[in-house]
């Protein structure tokens, strides 16, 4: 905490945007230092996605049919884009719980006494969560390679896919930030951050081909922002799972993923900062 206090105690000269960026980076540094001192936060965050990879690959992989083939290796390649996307979106719960914990302990009130940009507290928190998400994705990619996942495109396309995943994860952390500011306890933020994520991730193309769903459910899944990111990653990875849907997000998944993510950031950052200002007024 002293690092943050010493850095932002005196307002820095320059534009409001420049100060907001500096303040956000300082808050992000504070949260990263805190994460490094509590390694179990990172370790537990890695266990769940690794369990999903192993369970879906070896328990369900043998009974899944992808593109007319029941080869488990094809399902593992189909699966991984969904697991990657699920991992970055589930970071929402941690972001919400962290902000709710800061509110509950009165840390936000201490930030209010400093001459810093109001939105910097939330932006710094979400940036720190983004770094943790990137670390989780790196470890998860290594595990995926060990169980048989492979890419079949250029390095640039693969990096582009991971870039889309991080952008989507960052967008969803703003939803978590709004939830964290809207509840009274970290426990409520964790529950509130997970309860809506399960239908979002499972009513999608993450684990099964949407062509096997009933027509109305397939329509919902095809227009799900989560599905757009999954489909974009499959295309960029060169993995099986080409959609036969006529829905625009499935025909142009990369653009759809970008548009969805940017729209979520703009909308929920605005709502979260407004909620933050009203909650600390």
* 3-class DSSP assignment, residue 15: coil
pLDDT the model gives residue 235 = 94
Q: What angle do CA 40, 41, 47 make, to 5 degrees?
A: 80
Q: Which residues pair with 69 in a beta bridge?
A: 66
- DSSP for 40-86 reads HHHHHHHHHHHHHHHHIIIIIGGG--BTTB--HHHHHHHHHHHHHHH
- pLDDT value at residue 226: 96
Per-residue model confidence as pLDDT tens digits over 235-249: 999 988 777 788 999
Provide the CB-side half-sphere exposure for 154 (13 A, CA): 3
Cβ(28)–Cβ(125) under 8 Å?
A: yes
CA distance 82 to 120: 32
Spatial distance between the Cα atoms of 38 and 142, rounded to a whole number of angstroms = 23
DSSP 127-180: HHHHHHHHHHHHHHHHHHHHTT----S-HHHHHHHHHHHHHHHHHHHHHHHHHH
Nearest alpha carbon to residue 181 among 115, 114, 268: 268
Q: What is the pLDDT of residue 61?
A: 63
- Measured CA to CA, the distance from residue 21 to residue 34 in angstroms comes to 20
Res 12: pLDDT: 45
As a whole number of angstroms, the distance between CA 255 and CA 231 comes to 11
- Of 202, 220, 240, nearest in space to 80 by CA: 240
Instruction: Say how far apart CA 216 and CA 224 lie, in whole Å.
Output: 13
Global pTM value? 0.86
Residue segments in the chain with a per-residue pLDDT below the cut of 70: 1-16, 60-72, 107-109, 111-114, 118, 279-281
Read off the pLDDT of residues 123-182 as tens digits, 9 standing for 90 and up. Answer: 888 898 898 899 889 989 998 888 888 999 999 999 999 999 999 999 999 998 899 888
Residue 154: predicted pLDDT: 94
At residue 117, what are phi and psi to the nearest 5 degrees? -65, 140
Give the span between the Cα atoms of 281 and 276, in whole angstroms.
Answer: 8
Q: Measured between alpha carbons, how far is 143 from 49 in angstroms, rounded to an integer?
A: 10
């Amino acid at each position: 905490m002293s690092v943050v206090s010493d850095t932002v105690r005196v307002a820095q000269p320059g534009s409001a945007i420049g100060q907001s960026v500096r303040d956000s980076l300082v808050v992000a540094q504070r949260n990263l230092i805190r994460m490094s001192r509590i390694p179990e936060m990172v370790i537990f965050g890695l266990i769940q996605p690794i369990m999903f990879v192993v369970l879906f690959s070896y328990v369900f992989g043998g009974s899944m049919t992808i593109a007319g083939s029941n080869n488990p290796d094809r399902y593992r390649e189909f699966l991984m884009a969904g697991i990657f996307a699920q991992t970055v979106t589930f970071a929402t719960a941690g972001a919400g719980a962290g902000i709710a914990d800061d509110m509950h302990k009165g840390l936000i009130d201490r930030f209010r006494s400093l001459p810093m940009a109001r939105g910097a507290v939330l932006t710094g928190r979400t940036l720190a969560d983004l770094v943790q998400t990137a670390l989780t994705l790196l470890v998860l990619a290594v595990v995926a390679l060990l169980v048989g996942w492979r890419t079949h495109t250029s390095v640039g396309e693969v990096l582009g896919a991971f870039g889309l995943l991080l952008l989507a994860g960052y967008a969803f952390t703003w939803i978590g930030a709004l939830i964290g500011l809207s509840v009274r306890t970290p426990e409520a933020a964790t529950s509130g951050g997970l309860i809506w994520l399960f239908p979002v991730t499972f009513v999608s193309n993450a684990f099964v081909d949407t062509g096997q769903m009933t027509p109305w459910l397939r329509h919902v899944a095809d227009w799900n922002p989560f599905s757009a990111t999954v489909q974009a990653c499959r295309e960029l990875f060169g993995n099986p799972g080409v959609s036969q849907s006529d829905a625009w997000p499935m025909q142009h998944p990369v653009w759809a993923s970008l548009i969805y993510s940017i729209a979520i950031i703009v909308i929920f950052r605005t709502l979260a900062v407004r909620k933050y200002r009203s909650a600390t007024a």
